[in-house]
């Protein structure tokens, strides 16, 4: 519950403060969210969000690289969906508008944000065979 509320606040802040640096809005969000919580425990809330943001940014770079070769992001998304080996890792998220960033899918979450982010991260891990545990 707290994670979901914290994540929602950070996402709202990222939508309204695009001129601010990532560091600045994360710090502002941390101060708003943390309240009476210990600063050390804050990492449990923000690190998954920062990790997801970085994954999305790197994945967008991969999609853009392919898009230059094939003539657009929509085609790149389709190719990568069919052959995940075209990218370093596959993220099973695609924005409704192919020109939008992959992060925009997460940024637009409104309900059960923490659970949905967790589900997305699990899906990302499942999409990369080398991350699977071998018994």
**Residue 68 vs residues 64, 73, 75, 102: alpha-carbon distances, Å:** 6, 8, 10, 17
The pTM (predicted TM-score) of the whole model is 0.66
- Give pLDDT, residue 133: 46
- Nearest residue to 54 (alpha-carbon basis) of 17, 16, 98, 89: 89
Q: In angstroms, rounded to a whole number, what is the distance separating the alpha carbons of residues 11 and 100? A: 16
- Give pLDDT, residue 56: 93
Q: How does pLDDT run across 107-133, given as a tens digit for each residue? A: 888 787 778 888 888 888 887 665 444
- Nearest residue to 4 (alpha-carbon basis) of 55, 48, 39: 48
- Nearest residue to 56 (alpha-carbon basis) of 98, 86, 17, 91: 91
């Amino acid at each position: 519950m707290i994670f979901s509320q914290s994540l929602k606040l950070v996402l709202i802040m990222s939508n309204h403060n695009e001129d601010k640096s990532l560091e600045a809005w994360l710090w502002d969000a941390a101060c708003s969210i943390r309240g009476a919580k210990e600063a050390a425990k804050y990492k449990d809330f923000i690190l998954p969000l920062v990790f997801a943001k970085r994954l999305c940014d790197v994945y967008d770079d991969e999609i853009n690289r392919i898009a230059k070769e094939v003539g657009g992001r929509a085609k790149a998304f389709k190719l990568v969906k069919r052959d995940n080996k075209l990218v370093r890792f596959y993220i099973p998220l695609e924005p409704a508008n192919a020109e939008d960033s992959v992060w925009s899918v997460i940024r637009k979450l409104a309900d059960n944000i923490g659970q949905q982010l967790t589900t997305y991260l699990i899906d990302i891990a499942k999409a990369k065979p080398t991350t699977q545990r071998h018994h």
